[in-house]
Structure 1
């Protein structure tokens, strides 16, 4: 099985970049499953709407994952229970929606889990405990398990992947909007990448207008971060090949595509 995973889509430029590139990526790599993190995909860069989710599905996305901004757009409470291919972090206590979904591909099953770290983020349920429980359950039901680990600390993501090495097919990090250079297959067969990076504008700071971010650093007062709405953009992603025999990873390739790069045919 081949999985295409695309990192945090940020604002309108992120959606434009996704729309302009996903067809060529799918044509070039021919993934059986395409997964996109959409927790920053609104024009404001926080949360997701039903219209955006449906647009992603129309592009050929199979599963949309979320993160700590899942609840910033209140509209999500109206539709997340009815959209099983939109998943939020599984370790939010008593939250609507689901923390995982199962995709059927040619008589095999892939479980996609969304989990959120706790270092430098909200102290929600222990992600290690929740993941262990889910993996124990899903190992009996599916052939492959993919985890989107939405977390700030590289050490926490690496620790989770090591904790479950050999029990899951892959763990890819999201949230920091900066792609890391540590794509690897761990000793027992789990593919790992600390962060896939973002899909969105590269001007400003991590997709946000620099003025508001600098203001927060300089005076420590609350300020609204505004998304960069024009200019160059980037798409952060990875492609993972999984063994049909045991569900372990065979290969992981990370990539960064800039808006001025030629489109592959």
Structure 2
């Protein structure tokens, strides 16, 4: 089970409250959560990371905001289950790949950042083959979180990896897409898992703040909204060989 970008304290509370029911319904062997917006919309605090791991999340993935919270940096070095995109910076602390043990066997998780409209040190295509080779050597099931702005980049990466990984899922744009499918080679794909947070907003931020910015052109402090909270993500079914059999998105009112 993969859960889309957790936004702010409201998203954290919703996920922690509803995770037991999601586990009961879907019986996942592994839970992966993108938490790079958990700390008031920008980054993840060490306490939030610990709370999620303590609640049974197996791996936390990140994105373009992961390095914003400097107090998280030591945890990136010491806790392998807290990832940052492998290509976010040349000498960034932490890692973009981890293999975890589950009741169904080992699962590898890879985290990369898009390069189109984003500040990645390298294109994800420049690093992904090596990452996937290492991930597949450690586990038959390989899940890839592509934190990217451009739909085309996410789809292209999925086709590049089709048949070599179990799933490629997109994060970052905070809008759940309707294109979940299994590609010809057996790789599950969805362009964006969606957002775990307030949907009465502009991708998580108070609507009035964003409208003022667009209309007046004046900068304003982004504030996380509160209403219309949903927990969004996808469930991937895979065989022992790591090939995906199905993928289905979910959106739960919190």
- Using structure 1 for the length normalisation, give the TM-score: 0.92
- The question of 1:247 aligning with 2:228 is answered no
- The question of 1:226 aligning with 2:226 is answered no
For residues 67-86 of structure 1, the aligned pairs below 5 Å read: 67-86=63-82
Please say which of residues 76-85 and 195-204 is displaced more in the overlay.
Answer: 76-85
- The question of 1:88 aligning with 2:84 is answered yes
Q: For residue 263 of structure 1, what is the aligned residue in structure 2?
A: none
Q: For residue 262 of structure 1, what is the aligned residue in structure 2?
A: none
Q: For residue 59 of structure 2, what is the aligned residue in structure 1?
A: 63
Q: For residue 47 of structure 2, what is the aligned residue in structure 1?
A: 51
1:19-73 CA distance string (max 9 Å, x none): 121000001111110011100011x211011110111012111101110010121
Q: Secondary structure at the match of 1:14?
A: helix
Following superposition, the deviation at residue 111 of structure 1 comes to 0.8
Q: Secondary structure at the match of 1:13?
A: helix
Q: Secondary structure at the match of 2:137?
A: coil
Q: For residue 18 of structure 1, what is the aligned residue in structure 2?
A: 15
Alignment counterpart, residue 108 of structure 2, candidates 108, 111, 119: 111
Number of equivalenced pairs = 253
Runs of 4+ in 1 over 4 A off after TM superposition: none
Alignment counterpart, residue 253 of structure 2, candidates 255, 258, 261: 258
Checking the alignment, whether the CA contact within 8 Å between 2:87 and 2:113 is kept in structure 1 is yes
| Higher helix residue share | 2
Which sections of structure 2, spanning at least 5 residues, go unmatched?
A: none
Following superposition, the deviation at residue 145 of structure 1 comes to 0.7
Matched residues in 2 for 1:107 and 1:227: separation?
37
Following superposition, the deviation at residue 106 of structure 1 comes to 3.9
Q: For residue 132 of structure 1, what is the aligned residue in structure 2?
A: 129
Matched residues in 1 for 2:138 and 2:70: separation?
33
For residues 172-251 of structure 1, the aligned pairs below 5 Å read: 172-228=169-225, 230-244=226-240, 246-251=241-246
- Using structure 2 for the length normalisation, give the TM-score: 0.96
- The 1:117–1:16 alpha-carbon spacing in structure 2 relative to 1, beyond 3 Å, is same
1:163-190 CA distance string (max 9 Å, x none): 0100111001000000000000000000
Matched residues in 2 for 1:107 and 1:61: separation?
15
Matched residues in 1 for 2:104 and 2:207: separation?
48
Q: For residue 159 of structure 1, what is the aligned residue in structure 2?
A: 156
Following superposition, the deviation at residue 107 of structure 1 comes to 6.8
